[in-house]
Structure 1
Protein backbone atom coordinates (compact mmCIF):
# COMPACT_ATOMS: atom_id res chain seq x y z
CA UNK A 1 0.00 0.00 0.00
CA UNK A 2 1.11 3.53 -0.73
CA UNK A 3 -0.36 6.78 0.48
CA UNK A 4 0.01 10.52 0.21
CA UNK A 5 -1.38 13.08 2.64
CA UNK A 6 -2.10 16.62 1.47
CA UNK A 7 -2.87 19.10 4.25
CA UNK A 8 -4.36 22.58 3.85
CA UNK A 9 -5.98 24.67 6.59
CA UNK A 10 -8.11 22.31 8.68
CA UNK A 11 -8.47 19.73 5.86
CA UNK A 12 -6.33 16.67 5.11
CA UNK A 13 -6.84 14.60 1.98
CA UNK A 14 -5.37 11.12 1.95
CA UNK A 15 -4.80 9.23 -1.30
CA UNK A 16 -4.44 5.47 -0.81
CA UNK A 17 -3.44 2.90 -3.42
CA UNK A 18 -2.99 -0.86 -3.32
CA UNK A 19 -4.06 -3.33 -0.65
CA UNK A 20 -4.56 -2.16 2.92
CA UNK A 21 -3.35 -4.85 5.36
CA UNK A 22 -2.51 -4.98 9.06
CA UNK A 23 1.21 -4.39 8.48
CA UNK A 24 0.44 -1.09 6.69
CA UNK A 25 -1.88 0.35 9.30
CA UNK A 26 0.47 1.54 12.04
CA UNK A 27 2.49 4.01 9.96
CA UNK A 28 -0.66 5.34 8.27
CA UNK A 29 -2.46 5.64 11.62
CA UNK A 30 0.43 7.59 13.14
CA UNK A 31 0.57 9.99 10.19
CA UNK A 32 -3.19 10.57 10.25
CA UNK A 33 -3.32 11.10 14.03
CA UNK A 34 -0.46 13.56 13.60
CA UNK A 35 -2.49 15.42 10.94
CA UNK A 36 -5.41 15.61 13.39
CA UNK A 37 -3.12 16.90 16.14
CA UNK A 38 -1.78 19.61 13.80
CA UNK A 39 -5.31 20.88 13.21
CA UNK A 40 -6.69 18.93 10.25
CA UNK A 41 -10.05 18.03 11.76
CA UNK A 42 -11.68 17.28 8.37
CA UNK A 43 -10.28 14.12 6.77
CA UNK A 44 -11.06 12.94 3.26
CA UNK A 45 -9.73 9.53 2.26
CA UNK A 46 -9.67 8.72 -1.44
CA UNK A 47 -10.06 4.95 -1.80
CA UNK A 48 -10.27 4.88 -5.61
CA UNK A 49 -6.88 3.16 -5.84
CA UNK A 50 -7.54 0.61 -3.07
CA UNK A 51 -8.26 -2.94 -4.20
CA UNK A 52 -8.53 -4.67 -0.81
CA UNK A 53 -8.98 -3.73 2.83
CA UNK A 54 -8.86 -6.04 5.87
CA UNK A 55 -10.48 -5.64 9.28
CA UNK A 56 -7.57 -3.59 10.62
CA UNK A 57 -8.19 -1.03 7.88
CA UNK A 58 -11.87 -0.91 8.78
CA UNK A 59 -11.04 -0.34 12.44
CA UNK A 60 -8.64 2.45 11.43
CA UNK A 61 -11.47 4.30 9.68
CA UNK A 62 -13.80 3.86 12.66
CA UNK A 63 -11.10 5.24 14.98
CA UNK A 64 -10.44 8.21 12.66
CA UNK A 65 -14.18 8.87 12.43
CA UNK A 66 -14.43 9.04 16.23
CA UNK A 67 -11.32 11.22 16.61
CA UNK A 68 -12.46 13.68 13.95
CA UNK A 69 -15.93 13.93 15.49
CA UNK A 70 -14.41 14.70 18.91
CA UNK A 71 -12.62 17.62 17.25
CA UNK A 72 -15.96 18.75 15.72
CA UNK A 73 -14.75 17.65 12.29
CA UNK A 74 -15.43 14.60 10.21
CA UNK A 75 -14.21 11.78 8.00
CA UNK A 76 -15.34 11.21 4.43
CA UNK A 77 -14.38 8.18 2.34
CA UNK A 78 -14.43 8.63 -1.43
CA UNK A 79 -14.21 6.29 -4.40
CA UNK A 80 -14.71 2.91 -2.71
CA UNK A 81 -15.50 0.35 -5.39
CA UNK A 82 -15.60 -3.37 -6.02
CA UNK A 83 -14.56 -5.56 -3.10
CA UNK A 84 -13.76 -2.54 -0.90
CA UNK A 85 -17.27 -1.14 -1.33
CA UNK A 86 -18.75 -4.59 -0.68
CA UNK A 87 -16.77 -4.95 2.58
CA UNK A 88 -18.17 -1.65 3.86
CA UNK A 89 -21.70 -2.80 2.99
CA UNK A 90 -21.33 -6.29 4.52
CA UNK A 91 -19.97 -4.89 7.76
CA UNK A 92 -22.66 -2.19 7.72
CA UNK A 93 -19.98 0.46 8.20
CA UNK A 94 -21.60 2.29 5.30
CA UNK A 95 -24.31 3.25 7.81
CA UNK A 96 -21.77 4.73 10.27
CA UNK A 97 -19.20 6.31 7.97
CA UNK A 98 -19.71 8.95 5.29
CA UNK A 99 -18.93 7.03 2.09
CA UNK A 100 -19.39 8.67 -1.30
Structure 2
Protein backbone atom coordinates (compact mmCIF):
# COMPACT_ATOMS: atom_id res chain seq x y z
CA UNK A 1 0.00 0.00 0.00
CA UNK A 2 1.40 3.33 -1.01
CA UNK A 3 1.37 6.49 0.99
CA UNK A 4 0.62 10.05 0.09
CA UNK A 5 0.75 13.06 2.39
CA UNK A 6 -1.72 15.84 1.71
CA UNK A 7 -1.22 19.09 3.61
CA UNK A 8 -3.45 22.15 3.35
CA UNK A 9 -2.31 25.69 4.10
CA UNK A 10 -4.59 28.77 3.89
CA UNK A 11 -2.90 32.00 2.79
CA UNK A 12 -5.30 34.92 2.45
CA UNK A 13 -7.94 33.69 0.00
CA UNK A 14 -5.69 30.97 -1.47
CA UNK A 15 -5.74 27.31 -0.48
CA UNK A 16 -2.39 25.60 -1.02
CA UNK A 17 -2.44 21.82 -1.10
CA UNK A 18 0.90 19.99 -0.98
CA UNK A 19 0.82 16.46 -2.37
CA UNK A 20 3.84 14.32 -1.45
CA UNK A 21 4.37 10.69 -2.41
CA UNK A 22 2.59 8.33 -4.76
CA UNK A 23 -0.96 8.98 -5.88
CA UNK A 24 -2.65 5.71 -6.82
CA UNK A 25 -5.95 3.89 -6.22
CA UNK A 26 -5.38 3.39 -2.50
CA UNK A 27 -3.82 6.75 -1.69
CA UNK A 28 -5.93 8.97 -3.94
CA UNK A 29 -8.80 8.79 -1.43
CA UNK A 30 -6.86 11.15 0.88
CA UNK A 31 -6.51 13.81 -1.81
CA UNK A 32 -10.11 13.34 -2.96
CA UNK A 33 -11.35 13.86 0.61
CA UNK A 34 -9.20 16.99 0.97
CA UNK A 35 -10.50 18.47 -2.29
CA UNK A 36 -14.10 17.78 -1.24
CA UNK A 37 -13.49 19.48 2.13
CA UNK A 38 -12.06 22.54 0.35
CA UNK A 39 -15.03 22.70 -2.03
CA UNK A 40 -17.52 22.22 0.82
CA UNK A 41 -15.81 24.99 2.80
CA UNK A 42 -16.21 27.36 -0.15
CA UNK A 43 -12.54 27.71 -1.05
CA UNK A 44 -12.32 29.33 -4.48
CA UNK A 45 -8.58 29.35 -5.24
CA UNK A 46 -6.94 25.93 -5.06
CA UNK A 47 -3.23 25.71 -5.81
CA UNK A 48 -1.88 22.17 -5.73
CA UNK A 49 1.87 21.79 -5.23
CA UNK A 50 3.05 18.63 -6.97
CA UNK A 51 6.78 19.07 -6.27
CA UNK A 52 6.77 16.03 -3.97
CA UNK A 53 4.52 13.91 -6.17
CA UNK A 54 6.62 10.99 -7.42
CA UNK A 55 3.99 8.86 -9.16
CA UNK A 56 0.43 9.22 -10.41
CA UNK A 57 -1.88 6.46 -11.61
CA UNK A 58 -5.12 6.76 -13.56
CA UNK A 59 -6.95 6.77 -10.21
CA UNK A 60 -4.83 9.71 -9.09
CA UNK A 61 -5.57 11.59 -12.30
CA UNK A 62 -9.23 10.71 -11.78
CA UNK A 63 -9.27 12.65 -8.52
CA UNK A 64 -8.63 15.85 -10.49
CA UNK A 65 -10.74 15.08 -13.56
CA UNK A 66 -13.76 13.88 -11.57
CA UNK A 67 -13.94 17.30 -9.87
CA UNK A 68 -13.81 19.41 -13.04
CA UNK A 69 -17.57 19.85 -13.46
CA UNK A 70 -18.04 20.81 -9.81
CA UNK A 71 -15.05 23.16 -9.94
CA UNK A 72 -16.46 24.89 -13.01
CA UNK A 73 -20.00 25.08 -11.58
CA UNK A 74 -18.76 26.52 -8.28
CA UNK A 75 -16.40 28.91 -10.12
CA UNK A 76 -13.33 27.51 -8.38
CA UNK A 77 -9.86 28.09 -9.78
CA UNK A 78 -7.54 25.07 -9.57
CA UNK A 79 -3.93 24.96 -10.72
CA UNK A 80 -1.35 22.19 -10.36
CA UNK A 81 2.18 23.56 -10.08
CA UNK A 82 5.73 22.27 -9.69
CA UNK A 83 4.66 19.25 -11.72
CA UNK A 84 7.70 17.05 -12.32
CA UNK A 85 8.67 15.99 -15.85
CA UNK A 86 7.61 12.38 -15.25
CA UNK A 87 4.15 13.39 -14.00
CA UNK A 88 3.73 16.07 -16.68
CA UNK A 89 4.53 13.57 -19.45
CA UNK A 90 1.82 11.20 -18.15
CA UNK A 91 -0.70 14.06 -18.10
CA UNK A 92 0.31 15.13 -21.62
CA UNK A 93 0.15 11.58 -23.05
CA UNK A 94 -3.37 11.22 -21.69
CA UNK A 95 -4.34 14.71 -22.86
CA UNK A 96 -5.29 15.76 -19.34
CA UNK A 97 -3.04 18.83 -19.64
CA UNK A 98 -5.63 20.22 -22.08
CA UNK A 99 -8.20 20.81 -19.33
CA UNK A 100 -6.14 20.97 -16.12
CA UNK A 101 -4.22 24.18 -15.43
CA UNK A 102 -0.52 23.39 -15.06
CA UNK A 103 2.03 25.95 -13.92
CA UNK A 104 5.80 25.85 -13.56
CA UNK A 105 5.84 27.37 -10.07
CA UNK A 106 3.80 29.00 -7.33
CA UNK A 107 4.09 32.49 -8.82
CA UNK A 108 2.80 31.34 -12.22
CA UNK A 109 0.01 29.36 -10.54
CA UNK A 110 -1.06 32.45 -8.61
CA UNK A 111 -1.13 34.51 -11.85
CA UNK A 112 -3.30 31.88 -13.58
CA UNK A 113 -5.75 31.95 -10.65
CA UNK A 114 -5.84 35.76 -10.67
CA UNK A 115 -6.48 35.89 -14.41
CA UNK A 116 -9.33 33.37 -14.13
CA UNK A 117 -11.43 35.98 -12.28
CA UNK A 118 -12.33 33.60 -9.47
TM-score (norm 2): 0.77
Unaligned segments of structure 1, at least 5 residues: none
Q: What residue in structure 1 maps to residue 15 of structure 2? A: 12
Q: How far, CA to CA, are the matches of 2:66 and 2:80 in structure 1? A: 13
Task: Tell me: higher relative CO, structure 1 or 2? Use CA pairs within 8 A at least 6 residues apart.
Answer: 1
1:71 to 66, 70, 74: 74
Aligned residue among 36, 44, 59 for 2:47: 44
Q: Is the 8 A contact 1:22 1:57 kept in 2?
A: yes
Matched-pair contact (CA < 8 Å) for 1:45–1:78? yes
Which one of 9, 22, 25 corresponds to residue 22 of structure 1?
25
Alignment partner for residue 93 of structure 1, among 91, 96, 105?
Answer: 96
TM-score, with structure 1 as normaliser:
0.89
Aligned counterpart, 2:37: 34
Paired residues in the alignment total 100
Q: Which of the numbers 34, 56, 60 marks the counterpart of 1:57? A: 60
Unpaired segments of 5 or more residues in structure 2? 104-118
Q: Distance in 2 between matches of 1:25 and 1:10?
A: 25
Structure 1 residues 72 and 31 mapped into 2: Cα distance closer, same or farther (>3 Å)? Answer: same
2:115 alignment partner in structure 1? none
| Counterpart Cα distance in 2 of 1:79 and 1:64 | 20
RMSD: 1.4
